[in-house]
Amino acid sequence: MRVCIHRGSKEVGGSCVELECDGQRLLLDFGLPLDARESHEKYLPEIVGLDGGDPTLLGVLVSHPHIDHFGLLAHLSGNISVGMGAAARRILKAAAPFMREGAYSLSRGWDYQSGQSFDVGPFCVTPYLVDHSAYDSYAFLIEAGGKRLFYSGDFRAHGRKASIFEKLILNPPKNIDALILEGTTIGRIADDRAFPTESDVEEQLVKAFSDTEGLAMVQTSAQNIDRVVSIMRASKRTGRRLVIDLYAAAILEATGNQSIPQSDWPELALYVPQKQRVQIKREKWFDLLQRHKSNRIYIEELHEVSKEATLLFRSLHMADLERGACLNGSSFIHSQWEGYWERGSCDTTKEWLQKHGIEKQSIHTSGHASTADLKRLALAIEAKKVIPIHSFMPERYSKLFSNVEMHEDGEWWQA
């Protein structure tokens, strides 16, 4: 089995790995770089058959529904099969109408079941469910040509599914020839530092909500299901009701998990901001709204209950909150990667907060493993060689892991 990391050997995001055996090929992830600003076509890796015209390209296995791992699928022929978790596929389908990026090639492919192997040409694939900030995320064991490769995808050990990581450590795949290991946090924090757990985040949110006189606003991704659960639990503990929009309602529904907060739970309410109402009318999403309207509230009600409410904030809420006079005594919590705040993605929100004299708090934890947990996984798997990916500091791997083998983007090598 031959391997080529097309992108990711020296950066976080845009991951794409090509495997080849007996003339047949398989892609692991097809992501958009995190710093992509221009036409997405310029970021397409040089891979034969993306137009569906080469039958040796058997498909793409997406590890999880984050754009830096699936974001180029819109430029992939619909004739090429795409694998992902069943819930991840539903989430991306639910999100696509709300997004500017357009439709993704999701209509055909393999739906993963953790621990259940399936064959793709000469490749035997075994997905492993992992703990990550994206719902329904997987690592892969790939067997072909007498070789065994383990691709970590993105993972952590401090989320609400941390027990999954511990089970993997106790019963790891063995006789692995190559471990392609993500290292997002290497160099960002001290090697011995642990991240806050998702339960720690919940406790911090409880304190922040308790200290808020009016509406508590939390900016996070509705697709970070662990975080939405933390926000809902902290809201309930402080006598607040979580207010979501139609996009968040659609994402939560798409999980297919009735243990995950849903729009018809009494702890939740649906508020549809004006910009979204225009979108609903234009796109005729009346059936979608009908499914989620049981706990719908309007701006007058949000004003009345703001002291007992937490809003899953998006920038499209800003005009409504001003018009509805919902900001007296309010607080704002940024609960995402701080890079979004620092690199300009939130500038409109920054200006709005300054206008209303609202200070920003940060309550967050990483979606990626600490260095200590990366080392635990590498030690458990005992691969013959460890290959860096999804890291800005691959040169540090040799100080942290045994048998490190460096490879450049575009370089083919033997597993």
Look at 35-39, 106-110, 134-138, 274-278 and tell me which has the smallest mean pLDDT.
35-39
Boundary residue ending a domain (362, 379, 395): 362
In terms of domains, do 312 and 326 share one? yes
Residues 6 or more apart whose Cβ sits within 8 Å of residue 36: 14, 43, 71
Cα–chain center distance at 33: 14
How confident is the model over 301-353, as pLDDT tens digits?
A: 999 999 999 999 999 999 999 999 999 999 999 999 888 888 888 999 999 99
In terms of domains, do 358 and 376 share one? no
Looking at the structure of the chain, the number of domains it has is 2
Q: What percent of the chain shows pLDDT beyond 70?
A: 98
The domain that holds 398 is classified in CATH as 3.60.15.10
In terms of domains, do 166 and 286 share one? no
In terms of domains, do 209 and 76 share one? no
Cα–chain center distance at 136: 9
Residue 299: which of 269, 337, 254 has the closest Cα? 269
In terms of domains, do 372 and 358 share one? no
In terms of domains, do 80 and 209 share one? no
Tell me the CA distances in angstroms from 17 to 24, 286, 392, 411, one per residue in order: 14, 41, 17, 11
| 101 band by pLDDT with thresholds 50, 70 and 90 | low
In terms of domains, do 328 and 380 share one? no
Residue 231: which of 325, 129, 363, 361 has the closest Cα? 363
Is residue 104 over pLDDT 90? no
Identify any residues that bridge with 189 across adjacent strands, giving them in sequence order: 186
The domain that holds 338 is classified in CATH as 3.40.50.10710
Q: What pLDDT sits at residue 96? A: 87
Residues 6 or more apart whose Cβ sits within 8 Å of residue 262: 249, 252, 253, 268
In terms of domains, do 139 and 220 share one? no
Q: What pLDDT sits at residue 347? A: 92
Q: What pLDDT sits at residue 340? A: 84
Residues 6 or more apart whose Cβ sits within 8 Å of residue 170: none
In terms of domains, do 307 and 387 share one? no
Q: Which residue has the tokens 């450590």?
A: 169
Is residue 100 over pLDDT 80? no
Q: Provide mean pLDDT across the span 101-106.
A: 64
In terms of domains, do 175 and 27 share one? yes
User: 302 lies in which domain range?
Assistant: 198-362
In terms of domains, do 323 and 280 share one? yes
Instruction: Give the whole-angstrom CA distance, residue 101 versus residue 98.
Output: 9
How confident is the model over 239-262, as pLDDT tens digits?
A: 999 999 999 999 999 999 999 999
Q: What is the value of pTM for the model shown?
A: 0.94
Q: What pLDDT sits at residue 337? A: 87
In terms of domains, do 249 and 182 share one? no
Boundary residue ending a domain (338, 362, 386): 362
Instruction: Give the whole-angstrom CA distance, residue 123 versus residue 160.
Output: 32
